[in-house]
Amino acid sequence: MNINLSPDTQAFIENLVQSGRFTSADDVIGESVRLLVSRERLREQIELGVEQADRGDLLDHDEVFAHLRTRAAEIQRAAAD
């Protein structure tokens, strides 16, 4: 696959590599794609949440926080074992 980048983008990538933040331009591009995939998944999850809210499929905040407290306590117990 060949990718054409603007001079500004090329310079940005080169600076990241020269600074030691990444070992190669391939690493920069790989991380960029991973971030894009993550952002798209988040966007899809937000869309799903909005659709659920529009349908009235909502959880009471007390129920959500009770679940979070229970889960946090389980994690703490597991870490103590």
Q: What is the pLDDT of residue 14?
A: 98
Task: Please give the chain's pLDDT, 81 residues, in tens.
Answer: 899 999 999 999 999 999 999 999 999 999 999 999 999 999 999 999 999 999 999 988 999 999 999 999 999 999 988
Asked if the structure places residue 41 within a domain, the reply is yes
Q: Is residue 2 part of a domain?
A: no
Q: Is 1 part of a structural domain of the chain?
A: no
- pTM score over 0.85: no
25: containing domain: 7-80
Q: Residue 11 has what DSSP assignment?
A: H
Domain count, the chain: 1
